Structure 1
Amino acid sequence: MLDLPVLYLIAKTAAVTASYLAESRAKTDVVASIISVLSFCCIFVFELLLERLFKRQTLIYISVIFSLIACFLIGIEFLMPLATVLLMHLIDLTVSGKMYYRVLAVVICLLLLIYPPGMDGIILTALLILTVILVRAVLKKLNEYIHKNEMLKEEIMRLENKISDLKNMMKNIKTAVSLEERNRIAARIHDEIGHGISGSIILLEAAMLQMKNGQDKALGSIEKAVKNLRESVDEIRTALKEERTDRYLIDIHDISAILDDFKVKYNISTRLMTSGDLSNIGPQIWVCIHDNLKECLTNVLKHSNATEFVLNIQVFNKIIKVEYKDNGKTGKSFEKHLGLEAIEERTANAKGRCFITKDENGFCVTNIFYY
């Protein structure tokens, strides 16, 4: 993958090669030029190995400075492109941020003023500077995006672990609440109902013994036992009535769970709105609402471009209004297929009426029931 060390390796190799190619037109000593180019390339590769293997900045400083000294000794006039790239590398190692461009501009201007090259050298140097700056900026931006992506992955993993922990905690809480509720009901049965039944058993046993001595005493014990048993049965009925959850609470909980699950899975906002006495909604209507809701949510995924879904249940005097509405804006007129036809049929079976509308505000299915 291309990064800053590889970028400077390519730039310095291109600079020294171009410089010696231009010089070879004026000189005939091609062997010396080739040896010089290969020597510089070996130094540049050595720098890259230092960066990759040891991460030792000190050695890289020494190598870059040694190359700069070699440029001045061999001839800065025709090695100006290489010297410029070496200075860019050196400044990049020592200065970061916006100061890099300011220091680079000052150093390059001073170098060109002190050692002005020819027109070919100026053009080649300018091209190298622009190329390195452009690619360097792209690499910096790419590294920022890679770093942000890694941070987001870590955050996603952290959130997934947190969600998993929350699910386990909810499961444990649910188990603990269930066990606590069972213990509470068992204690109530033992304390309130068990004592009455135990007393009745004792009275019946006493009546059996009293049967030998006199029926009047036995009859009195039996009557007390019957009375205690009746009271115990009444207490059982009262306890069951108090402990039993209202049907509409179970149904509305299921509806809310479906909406919450849809929101988490598909990242589409969902809302449940209710008004009136929900206990007036019968089991058949709850089943219809439940099934129609699933069908409407499926249509939102398949046909709508919605970001929000609202289920509004309103209970009036003798009338129940259920509205399934999303804010999808597809710009196309809807056609009744199997899903919408199933909603209409299901509503009719529950002795209700179904109205389907679509406008600029989204898609809406309205059910009207009578009770």
Structure 2
Amino acid sequence: MDYRIIGNKAALFIYILAVSYFLTEQADARYLLASLIYLSLNIAVPIFKHPKRKRVAGVLAAASAIFCAWQLDPLFLLLLPPNLCELVWLAGAKTRYAGLLMVVPLFVAPKELDPAYVLAALLSFLLFAHGRAALERIAMLEEINEKTRDDLERLTRSLNENTDYMRRSAYTIKLEERNRLSQQIHDDIGHAMAGALIQMEASRMLLLSNPDKAAELLGNAIHISKDGLERIRLTLKDTKPSSEELGINRLRLMTDELSANHGIQGTLFHQGDIDTITPLQWKIMRENATEAITNSLKYGKATSIHIEVHVLNKFVKCVVSDNGVGSGKIVKGLGIVGMEERAASIGGTVIADGNKGFSVTTLLPKAAPALTDDSP
């Protein structure tokens, strides 16, 4: 606002000097003195930092314009509108009060000066109103920005708290699962093994004196041991996740790590019956996806990486694509060769494409043998 008012005063001041001094060729020293006083008072307004001093300097500047108009030249009344606008702004009053104050000098100004005064007052009022509206918009935007910053800080704190809560919850779930397994092993398997051990100890004591009873107890011990082993097998079967659940969640973990650790958008999409994918196929797709993501991070300059798993009639397809720079000519390094060797070990193939980013497609036949000694 200061710059608008200063520019408005400067323009009107130059106009008054041009009309009253240069055009009329008056060399009265009073004009120079009055001009210097008016300039000094108006320069003091933006220099002073204290609001009360600003208002006092503004009142004196307006009074000097009135005094110069009364004693020297009525043209100095044209300087009054920007000073009145400045006083209204410094007082914090509403904009319309500036327009009302500008009407008062019309009653004392010479009639021949009315058109010039009305034009100066109108331009000053419009400039003041526009500047004040701009300041109000800036203040509103700053308030919105401050509120947005507070909301962002609050959401960040909430996110951190939720992250800590999720971490503690995951750890608590693991502890509860370990406690459940240990309790189940103690209650079911431990009791069964203890009973079998008691039966075997009793059969050893009766082995010479009562062979038939010893054989019966030994048979009971064998039956109890078999039952315990079956319970161990069922417990492990219920605890171990299925291969498809473990495989797709490992790929999902890879995409989540892209966003968390590298600031890259990672997405995962799957279509078809993923239950038919064998552990060996999951293993190959995961290792190829890891290699493709590593290459994208190193050379691709990508901002997003997308993984797709499709179960087709005769093939299982895994596509890892990014939106990076791509490559017009594919040079097969150790990474792509390694992916091809892994896929070829079960009759599959790998297709690399450098158009529109970079993508690596792994095609594996559905008749691939299952892996029995390694998990996906």
- For 1:231-253, what per-residue CA distance to the aligned partner results, in whole angstroms no more than 9, with x for missing partners? 21222122112211223322211
- Report the equivalent of 2:364: 369
Deviation at 1:146, TM superposition (A): 4.4
What is the identity percentage for the equivalent residue pairs of Structure 1 and Structure 2?
A: 20
Deviation at 1:178, TM superposition (A): 0.6
State whether structure 2 residue 207 is matched by structure 1 residue 184.
no
Aligned pairs (5 A) from 1:1-371: 4=1, 6-7=2-3, 10-11=6-7, 14=10, 18=14, 26=26, 27-29=28-30, 30-31=32-33, 33-42=35-44, 44-45=45-46, 48-51=48-51, 64=58, 67-75=61-69, 77-92=74-89, 93-95=92-94, 100=95, 115=109, 117=113, 143=139, 145-211=141-207, 213-263=209-259, 266=263, 268=265, 270-283=267-280, 285-297=281-293, 303=300, 309-325=305-321, 328=323, 334-337=328-331, 342-343=335-336, 345-351=338-344, 352-357=348-353, 364-370=359-365, 371=368
Distance in 2 between residues matched to 1:148 and 1:334, nearest whole Å:
48
Could you tell me the TM-score, scaled by structure 1's length?
A: 0.72
Q: Which moved more, 1:84-93 or 1:291-300?
A: 291-300
Deviation at 1:171, TM superposition (A): 0.4
Please give the root-mean-square deviation of Cα atoms over the aligned residues, in Å.
4.3
Counterpart residue type for residue 94 of structure 1: A
- For 1:200-254, what per-residue CA distance to the aligned partner results, in whole angstroms no more than 9, with x for missing partners? 2222333344357433323322222222122212221221122112233222111
Distance in 2 between residues matched to 1:91 and 1:267, nearest whole Å:
54
- Report the equivalent of 2:371: none
Mapped contact 1:13–1:41 kept (Cα < 8 A): no
Deviation at 1:67, TM superposition (A): 4.6
> CA separation of 1:221/1:335 partners in 2, compared to 1, >3 Å: closer, same or farther?
same
> CA separation of 1:121/1:343 partners in 2, compared to 1, >3 Å: closer, same or farther?
farther
Deviation at 1:354, TM superposition (A): 2.2
| SS of residue in 2 equivalent to 1:49 | coil
Counterpart residue type for residue 175 of structure 2: L
Counterpart residue type for residue 38 of structure 1: S
> CA separation of 1:180/1:142 partners in 2, compared to 1, >3 Å: closer, same or farther?
same
Q: Which moved more, 1:266-275 or 1:15-24?
A: 15-24
Distance in 1 between residues matched to 2:105 and 2:332, nearest whole Å:
78
| SS of residue in 2 equivalent to 1:79 | helix
Distance in 2 between residues matched to 1:322 and 1:123, nearest whole Å:
75
Mapped contact 2:4–2:127 kept (Cα < 8 A): no
> CA separation of 1:139/1:295 partners in 2, compared to 1, >3 Å: closer, same or farther?
farther
- Stretches of structure 1 lacking an aligned partner (at least 5 in a row): none
Q: Which moved more, 1:231-240 or 1:155-164?
A: 155-164
> CA separation of 1:333/1:126 partners in 2, compared to 1, >3 Å: closer, same or farther?
farther
Counterpart residue type for residue 28 of structure 1: A
| SS of residue in 2 equivalent to 1:217 | helix
Deviation at 1:118, TM superposition (A): 9.2
Mapped contact 1:11–1:132 kept (Cα < 8 A): no
Mapped contact 1:274–1:314 kept (Cα < 8 A): yes
> CA separation of 1:335/1:62 partners in 2, compared to 1, >3 Å: closer, same or farther?
same
| SS of residue in 2 equivalent to 1:94 | coil
> CA separation of 1:106/1:268 partners in 2, compared to 1, >3 Å: closer, same or farther?
farther
| SS of residue in 1 equivalent to 2:177 | helix
Mapped contact 2:318–2:363 kept (Cα < 8 A): yes
Distance in 2 between residues matched to 1:113 and 1:348, nearest whole Å:
98
Deviation at 1:133, TM superposition (A): 6.6
Mapped contact 1:15–1:81 kept (Cα < 8 A): no
Q: Which moved more, 1:65-74 or 1:234-243?
A: 65-74
Distance in 2 between residues matched to 1:106 and 1:35, nearest whole Å:
27
Mapped contact 1:8–1:85 kept (Cα < 8 A): no
> CA separation of 1:91/1:305 partners in 2, compared to 1, >3 Å: closer, same or farther?
farther
> CA separation of 1:333/1:316 partners in 2, compared to 1, >3 Å: closer, same or farther?
closer
Q: Which moved more, 1:342-351 or 1:29-38?
A: 29-38
- For 1:106-132, what per-residue CA distance to the aligned partner results, in whole angstroms no more than 9, with x for missing partners? 765775797464999899888877776
